[in-house]
Structure 1
Amino acid sequence: MAPAGPYRLVTVNTAPDRAKRLIGRVVEDVKEQYDITHAGNAASIDEVRKVVEEAQPNVLFTASMWTPEEAQQIIGIAKEIVPDLKTFSLPQGLQVNKGPDAVVEYIKEHLPALLG
């Protein structure tokens, strides 16, 4: 069976290199099930509109450094541009408290529900 997708993913993470590495691991681990391309990263809330306009993603992840309120603000901006965007927010503090492996596992656990 062919992988589902293609999905264009934008991340919102103040550490773009870390976002790229972690998403790279997820993409590699799930490539049999999902065709995901990391299309861009917004390193601040101010960059979200520009990155989403340029990348036209169908999936957006907010990283674990954002508070729930900030994540909602980010998602609101992104959905103004792509109304049917699928969004996923990592729990605040996950990376700091449990490390990158926990982030990768958390994303992989939740992908089926997100991407249907």
Structure 2
Amino acid sequence: MAPKGPFKLVTVNTAPDRARRLIGIVVEDMASRFTIVHAGNAESIEEVQSVVEEHKPDLLFTASMWTPEEATEIISIAKGVVPDLKTFSLPQGLQVQGGPDAVVDYILKHLPALLN
């Protein structure tokens, strides 16, 4: 069976290099089931609208540095541009508490349900 997708992904992360690296691991691990293309990253809440307008993603991730309130604001802004956008928020502090492996594991565990 062919992988589902492609899904165009935008991340919202103040550390864009880390976002690209971790998403690269996820994309590679899930390649047999899903085709995910990391199209762009917004480094701040202020950048979300323009990045989403530019890339028109299918999927948006908020990183674990954002509070639940900030993640809600980011999602609201993004859905104002792409109303049927699928969104995925990492729990606040996950990167700090568990490191990059915890982030990758969390995404691999929870993302398939969103994409299926």
Runs of 4 or more, structure 1, over 2 Å off, are: none
Aligned to 1:74: 74
Aligned to 2:37: 37
- Given the alignment of the two structures, is residue 88 of structure 1 paired with residue 73 of structure 2, yes or no? no
Give the distance between the partners of 1:81 and 1:64, measured in 2 at CA. Answer: 23
Q: Which runs of 5+ in 1 are unaligned?
A: none
Give the distance between the partners of 2:87 and 2:53, measured in 1 at CA. Answer: 16
- Given the alignment of the two structures, is residue 52 of structure 1 paired with residue 52 of structure 2, yes or no? yes
The size of the alignment, in residue pairs, is 116
Aligned to 2:15: 15
Identity of aligned residues (%): 73
1:40-94 deviation digits (Å, cap 9, x = unpaired): 0000000000000001000000000000000000000000000000000000000
Partner of 2:7, secondary structure, is strand
**RMSD, aligned CA:** 0.4
Give the distance between the partners of 1:55 and 1:9, measured in 2 at CA. Answer: 9
Q: Which amino acid aligns with 1:18?
A: R
TM-score by length of 1: 0.99
Aligned to 1:105: 105
